[in-house]
Structure 1
Amino acid sequence: MRTFEDLPPGLTETFGPLTVSKDDILAFAREYDPQPFHVDEIAAKDSFIGTLIASGWHSCSLNMRLLADGLILDSSSMGSPGIEEVKWVKPVRPGDTLRSRMTVLESRISKSRPSLGLVRFHFDMLNQVDETALTQTNWVMFATRDAEPFEGEGRNVLAAAADGLPGSAPEREIPRISANPYFEDLVVGETEELGSYTFTPEDIIGFARQFDPQRFHVDAEAAKNSLFGALCASGWHTASVWMKQMIGHRDRIRAYALSRGERPARLGPSPGFSNLKWLKPVYAGDTITYRSSVTAKRASASRPGWGLVFHHNTGTNQNGEEVFAFDGMVFWERRA
């Protein structure tokens, strides 16, 4: 089993391959991100890309699976506090064969937990012709070689272990977004509640078995002897459910607009995101409420008729604790 000491700065390895089928793309998108260019080949022809492509959150989850099989499942990994940045460089298409090239950027021992080390990675997920589909930079926690067995520390474990890493912005009180907003209608500082979702043990285990089969995500008994102390959701599951709630919210806006005889404003793809934080574990039975706030916007120079909207997103559990946050961006249709 590889520990913190086995992951020195400069280490580079490549994991994979993993081939993605059309059925894989459709199954993930139908559950978490049913935008037309992910679930409908005919509708995808009218999109920015022109063909069916995988959800960006699916691409992230696939990179997680490559990392899990190549390193994490045979290591002392204790999870990740978040993701610094992801860029979706090229779309993942049906039939693509993916590999993940890992580079260790830096490492250090936790200030508060000397038996725990923090390793900063950069990943380039490549397709079969060596095009970069995704880049990702993030920290992962690993036990040291001489670490004693860990006992569950509950909801504060991520903040306690990842001391010194950037935190999240405080939650803000901001007004609601209008009913059917086009790019021009969006006001910086507006927010919307997207919806709530309760994570069941079956959901947590089902997602993790496919994308992130670490023991604290797939085995309730084994999870008791991890830092988390109980079965908890993969961070990519938490993020994918954010997307699921966002699409549900957009569907409600679309239905409202159509009921009033209006044409709904369209959203395009996202170039990526940054500052993703898994602030507290999401345990079986937790109900997470997701919100999205507009932080900035600008007209697109490359795509007439579209603007680029920047947003800050959060997930809060039933105890009022923020468990998840990230900064994203998306193309948003302008008024004709």
Structure 2
Amino acid sequence: MRTFEDLPVGFSQALGPLHVSKDDILAFAREYDAQPFHVDEVAAKDSFIGTLIASGWHSCSLNMRLVADGLLLDSSAMGAPGIEEVKWVRPVRPGDTLRSHVQVLESRVSKSRPTLGLVKLHFDMVNQADETVLTQANWVMFATRDAEPFASEGSKVLTAVAGSLPGDHPPREIPPISSNPYFEDLVIGETDELGSYPFTPDEIVRFAKQYDPQRFHVDAEAAKSSLFGALCASGWHTASVWMKHMVGHRDRIRAYALAHGQRPARLGPSPGFSNLKWLKPVYAGDTITYRTTVTAKRPSASRPGWGLVFHHNTGTNQNGEEVFAFDGMVFWERRG
């Protein structure tokens, strides 16, 4: 079993392959990201890409599966505090076969917990034509060879590690966004609540078995002796549910606009995100409330009629603790 010492700077490995079918793309998108270009082949023809493509969050989850199978399941991995950056370079399409190339960029022992090491990994996920579809950089925690068993320290460790990463945004109390905003209508600093979601044990295990089968996500008994002390959701599950609520929020805006004789503003794809932090574990039984805040916007130089909108997003549990945050961007339609 690989421990922290087995992952020095310069270590690299090829992971995969993993085939992606149209049914795989549709199943994920219907549950978590039901935008037309992910679920409807006819509607996708009128999109930026012109064909059915996988959700970006599905691409991240597929990379997680490659990493889990090829590296983490046979290691002392103790979870990840977050993701520095993801770029969705090319779309993942039905029939693609994916591989991921991982390299260790940095490695250091935790000052406060000398039996816990932090390893910074860089991933390039490629398709069958060796074209890069996703790049990702993030830290992963690994126990050292002489580490004693960890238990019930997940919240403290994640908070300490994630809190040291860049990109903090202080909480703000700000009014909701307008009912059918186009690019020009968006006001920097405005926010909206997207909805809440209860994470049940069955849902946590179901997602993790497909995309992130580490023991603390799939086995409640084994999770007791992990860093987290109990069954908790995969970070990609937490993120995918954010997307599910964002799509639901946009669907409500669309329905409102149509009911009032308006044409809904369209959203395009996202180029990627940064500063994703899993600040605390999401345990079975937790209810997470998601919010999004507009932080910046600019007209698109490459796509007339569109602008690029930047947003900060959070998830808060039933105790008022922030468990999840990231900075995203999306193409947003301008008024004609």
The reply to whether TM is greater than 0.5 is yes
Find the aligned partners of 2:68 and 2:170 in 1 and give their Cα distance. 32
Does the aligned pair in 1 maintain the 2:201–2:284 contact within 8 Å? yes
Q: 1:164-219 CA distances to partner (integer Å, 9 max, x unpaired)?
A: 43363221122210000000000000000001000000000000000000000000
Q: Secondary structure at the match of 2:73?
A: helix
Q: 1:12-35 CA distances to partner (integer Å, 9 max, x unpaired)?
A: 111000000000000000000000
Find the aligned partners of 1:166 and 1:43 in 2 and give their Cα distance. 38
2:113 corresponds to 1:113: yes
Instruction: Please name the residue that 1:137 is paired with.
Output: 137
Instruction: Please name the residue that 1:211 is paired with.
Output: 211
> Measured at CA, do residues 181 and 60 of structure 1 come closer, stay the same or move farther in structure 2, by a change above 3 Å?
same
- Alignment-mate amino acid for residue 4 of structure 1: F
Find the aligned partners of 2:256 and 2:162 in 1 and give their Cα distance. 43
Q: Secondary structure at the match of 1:327?
A: strand
Q: Secondary structure at the match of 1:254?
A: helix
Does the aligned pair in 1 maintain the 2:82–2:162 contact within 8 Å? no
Does the aligned pair in 2 maintain the 1:155–1:228 contact within 8 Å? yes
Instruction: Please name the residue that 1:264 is paired with.
Output: 264
Count residues in correspondence: 336
Pairwise CA distance, 1:153:
1.9
Give the TM-score, by structure 1 length. 0.98
Instruction: Please name the residue that 1:278 is paired with.
Output: 278
2:38 corresponds to 1:45: no
Q: Secondary structure at the match of 1:313?
A: strand
Instruction: Please name the residue that 1:244 is paired with.
Output: 244
Does the aligned pair in 2 maintain the 1:116–1:161 contact within 8 Å? no
Any residues of structure 2 matched to 1:67-106 within 5 Å, and which? 67-106=67-106
Any residues of structure 2 matched to 1:124-203 within 5 Å, and which? 124-160=124-160, 164-166=164-166, 168-203=168-203
Find the aligned partners of 2:193 and 2:165 in 1 and give their Cα distance. 28
Find the aligned partners of 2:163 and 2:173 in 1 and give their Cα distance. 27
> Measured at CA, do residues 335 and 163 of structure 1 come closer, stay the same or move farther in structure 2, by a change above 3 Å?
closer
Q: Secondary structure at the match of 1:134?
A: strand
Over aligned residues, Cα RMSD in angstroms? Answer: 1.0
Instruction: Please name the residue that 1:301 is paired with.
Output: 301
Give the TM-score, by structure 2 length. 0.98
- Alignment-mate amino acid for residue 307 of structure 1: G
Does the aligned pair in 1 maintain the 2:300–2:308 contact within 8 Å? yes
Q: 1:219-245 CA distances to partner (integer Å, 9 max, x unpaired)?
A: 000000001000000000000000000
Find the aligned partners of 2:162 and 2:134 in 1 and give their Cα distance. 25
Identity, % of aligned positions: 83
Q: Secondary structure at the match of 2:277?
A: strand
Instruction: Please name the residue that 2:290 is paired with.
Output: 290
> Measured at CA, do residues 183 and 36 of structure 1 come closer, stay the same or move farther in structure 2, by a change above 3 Å?
same
> Measured at CA, do residues 290 and 164 of structure 1 come closer, stay the same or move farther in structure 2, by a change above 3 Å?
closer
Find the aligned partners of 2:132 and 2:154 in 1 and give their Cα distance. 38
- Alignment-mate amino acid for residue 196 of structure 1: S
Q: 1:291-318 CA distances to partner (integer Å, 9 max, x unpaired)?
A: 0000000000110110000000000000
Find the aligned partners of 2:189 and 2:22 in 1 and give their Cα distance. 39
Does the aligned pair in 1 maintain the 2:162–2:277 contact within 8 Å? no
Any residues of structure 2 matched to 1:220-235 within 5 Å, and which? 220-235=220-235
Find the aligned partners of 2:296 and 2:148 in 1 and give their Cα distance. 47
Find the aligned partners of 1:250 and 1:283 in 2 and give their Cα distance. 27
Does the aligned pair in 2 maintain the 1:112–1:161 contact within 8 Å? no
Pairwise CA distance, 1:111:
1.2
